[in-house]
């Protein structure tokens, strides 16, 4: 019997993962990517000797990457050289108030003791609970397709769920252990990767603190796109055909079965199974006829989206002082409206921001003697986006960056590119211009997320950051594996 033909739409982490898992088991897989380079948000671009990662810049949860490549008998070292950053990152609370976060757990404990004497045992208990949540959450729960409550019905799992604090907010959980405002902000920071503030994220996600503090912050030499290069190489080795500049405009369905995908060029590509790794909302609302959509616009408008971002990719013609590879600027208080960066329909007056200088670690991403500087400002989705606003906020954050790091930077910028809502929409059809997908609130967790299976089209599946298990690079890798297992279970060769 000939192999079943699978079309995977989108070559981000989830799409590449799904395609490779399916090809590994004998399916004939074609991966369609609308852009001219693979990787989705993890694409790269080069300009004037600088190599920029366009999206993800943090490498956390190294075990998830190890597990992915090990599934195919490979190691991450077969594709890229990984180093652990020390310090992991630095947090800037104000002028001359920098906190380097050491990679060593003992040193980290001592650092917290110096801020809040006697806090060491509390940290130990906090991390013990976080480690348990990581073990159950990342090694078990996230690999469940979340299509039925019965997946979570075992007595042991119900006990686990109680122990994992799913009904308590991360904000309250952190404050049970720590009283120093600096430590609280440090402990709440990792959940920003999940698309919401600590007040609206379940305490289950203190597992992110375990990933941060115990497992560490890493960097693949050459840039985050080296992961994509490795995944593309592996996918091709398994027989995946990758077609770039091949945007799907329509999925044709007959009698409840997807027959083929039509490209913008008019070409029709038949398939036995389609896995959509592109933006879920776009696939559902634009590629399918109304009668085959999983959700209507009312449903989508009620979703709590993770934020968008204003990004700047900068080339600087000198070496920079007083900055690390990763720098978090917490110099402005969050105040009572901390969730404004996610929900406020206006640009914030005093934005948080993040600066990455990968050339400090990796000289290959900038010309000799120069720096590669990446700036990110989290913003609510669906905001007005204009060059004037981008320039206004460039000046706001550059004022703070120069003042706090004690140096002139603007006059040394020799390359500059900005990226925000309209670009996320144009490049990825991102719903409301979001950067990170769907926020991991309690009411958008597991079975409460958009389903990975179309309810009206028998052979259409979804993967990526708008379905299970959620936003972020490791969850997207896992999402591809989870959907592949569902395809295999329901469509035996």
Q: Which H or E run includes 431? A: none
- The structure tokens listed for 487 are 């395809």
pLDDT for 194: 82
Q: Is the pLDDT of residue 337 over 50?
A: no
Distance from the Cα of residue 406 to its chain's centroid: 31
- As a whole-number percent, the residues of the chain with pLDDT over 70 amount to 96
User: Helix 105-115 to helix 120-139 angle, to the nearest 10 degrees?
Assistant: 130
CA distances from 257 to 50, 262, 270, 330, 414 (A): 46, 15, 12, 51, 53
Pairing of strands 5-9, 28-32: parallel
**Residue pair 307/435 in contact by the 8 Å Cβ criterion:** yes
Q: Which two tokens stand for residue 170?
A: 């991360």
Which pLDDT score is estimated for 336?
A: 45
SS3 373: strand
Q: Do 5-81+222-302+437-490 and 107-215 share a fold?
A: no
pLDDT the model gives residue 197:
86
Going by C-alpha positions, the residue among 434, 370, 323 that lies closest to residue 91 is 323
Q: What's the angle, vertex CA 72, arms to CA 239 and CA 78, rounded to 5?
A: 95
Q: How many CB atoms lie within 10 A of CB 104?
A: 13
Architecture in CATH of 5-81+222-302+437-490: 3-Layer(bba) Sandwich (3.50)
Residue 89's SS3 state is strand
**Is-contact 339 197, C-beta < 8 A?**
yes
DSSP 3-state percent helix, strand, coil across the chain (nearest 5): 40, 20, 35
Model pLDDT, residue 367: 98
Please write the tens of the pLDDT for every residue from 417-450. Answer: 999 999 999 999 999 999 999 999 989 999 999 9
Handedness of CA 318, 321, 323, 325 (dihedral sign): positive
Residues facing 169 on adjacent strands? 202
153 or 133, which is more confident = 133
342 pLDDT higher than 90: no
CA 273 to each of CA 185, 234, 361, 402, 490: distance values in angstroms, whole numbers, following the listed order = 45, 21, 43, 53, 11
On the question of pLDDT at 154 being above 90, the answer is no
Residue 28: CB atoms within 10 A of its CB come to 17
Cis peptide preceding 301, ω within 30 of 0: no
Please state, in angstroms and rounded to a whole number, the distance separating the CA atoms of residues 79 and 74: 9
User: Domain ranges in the chain?
Assistant: 5-81+222-302+437-490, 107-215, 305-428
Q: Where does the pLDDT of residue 341 fall: very low under 50, low under 70, confident under 90, or very high at 90 and above? A: low
Stronger pLDDT, 132 or 161, i.e. the higher one: 132
Greatest distance between any 2 Cα atoms in the chain? 69
Q: Which of 9-18, 216-225, 338-347 has the lowest mean pLDDT?
A: 338-347
Do residues 248 and 256 make contact, with C-beta atoms less than 8 angstroms apart?
A: no
pLDDT tens track for 240-280: 999 999 999 999 999 999 999 999 999 999 999 999 999 99
CA atoms of 24 and 481, how far apart (whole Å) = 11
Reference 234, options 418, 84, 69; nearest CA is 69
State which CATH number among 1.20.120, 1.10.530, 1.10.405, 1.25.60 fits the domain covering 107-215.
Answer: 1.10.405
Q: Is 445 exposed, middle or buried (0-12, 13-18, 19+ CB in 10 A)?
A: buried
Higher pLDDT, 18 or 194: 18
Residue with tokens 């790091």: 405
How many whole angstroms separate alpha carbon 253 and alpha carbon 250?
9
Residue 127, by phi and psi: left (phi above 0), alpha (psi -120 to 50) or beta?
alpha
């Amino acid at each position: 019997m000939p192999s079943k033909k699978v079309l995977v739409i989108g070559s981000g982490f989830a799409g590449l993962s799904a395609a490779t898992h399916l090809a590994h088991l004998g399916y004939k897989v074609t991966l369609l990517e609308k852009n001219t380079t693979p990787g989705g948000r993890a694409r790269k671009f080069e300009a004037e000797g600088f190599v920029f990662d366009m999206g993800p810049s943090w490498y956390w949860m190294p075990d998830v990457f190890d597990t992915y490549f090990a599934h195919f008998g490979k190691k991450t070292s077969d594709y890229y050289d990984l180093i652990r950053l020390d310090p992991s990152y630095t947090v800037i609370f104000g002028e001359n108030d920098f906190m380097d976060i050491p990679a060593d757990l003992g040193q980290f404990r001592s650092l917290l003791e110096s801020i809040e004497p006697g806090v060491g045992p509390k940290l130990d208990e906090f991390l013990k609970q976080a480690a348990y949540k990581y073990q159950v959450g990342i090694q078990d729960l996230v690999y469940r397709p979340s299509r039925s409550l019965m997946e979570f019905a075992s007595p042991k799992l119900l006990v686990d769920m109680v122990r994992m604090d799913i009904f308590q907010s991360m904000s309250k959980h952190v404050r049970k252990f720590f009283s120093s405002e600096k430590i609280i902000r440090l402990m709440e920071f990792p959940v920003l990767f999940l698309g919401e503030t600590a007040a609206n994220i379940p305490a289950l996600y203190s597992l992110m603190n375990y990933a941060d503090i115990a497992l560490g912050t890493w960097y693949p030499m050459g840039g985050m796109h080296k992961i994509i290069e490795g995944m593309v190489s592996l996918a091709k080795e398994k027989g995946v055909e990758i077609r770039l500049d091949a945007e799907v405009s329509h999925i044709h369905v007959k009698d409840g079965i997807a027959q083929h995908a039509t490209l913008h060029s008019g070409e029709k590509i038949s398939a036995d199974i389609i896995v959509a790794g592109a933006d879920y909302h776009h696939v559902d609302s634009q590629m399918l006829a109304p009668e085959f959509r999983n959700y209507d616009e009312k449903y989508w408008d009620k979703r709590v989206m993770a934020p968008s971002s204003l990004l700047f990719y900068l080339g600087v013609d000198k070496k920079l002082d007083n900055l690390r590879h990763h720098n978090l600027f917490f110099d402005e208080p969050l105040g009572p409206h901390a969730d404004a960066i996610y929900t406020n329909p206006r640009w914030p007056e005093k934005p948080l921001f993040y600066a990455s200088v990968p050339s400090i670690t990796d000289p290959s991403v900038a010309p000799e003697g120069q720096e590669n500087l990446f700036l990110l400002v989290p913003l609510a989705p669906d905001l007005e986006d204009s060059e004037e606003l981008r320039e206004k906020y460039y000046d706001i954050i550059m004022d703070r960056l120069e003042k706090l790091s004690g140096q002139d930077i603007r006059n040394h910028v020799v390359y500059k590119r900005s990226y925000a809502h309209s670009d996320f929409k144009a490049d990825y059809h991102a719903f409301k211009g979001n950067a990170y997908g769907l926020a991991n609130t309690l009411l958008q967790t597991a079975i409460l997320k958009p389903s990975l299976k179309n309810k009206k089209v028998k052979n259409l599946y979804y993967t990526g950051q708008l379905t299970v298990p959620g936003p972020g690079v490791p969850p997207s890798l896992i999402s591809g594996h989870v959907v592949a297992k569902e395809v295999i279970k329901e469509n035996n060769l």
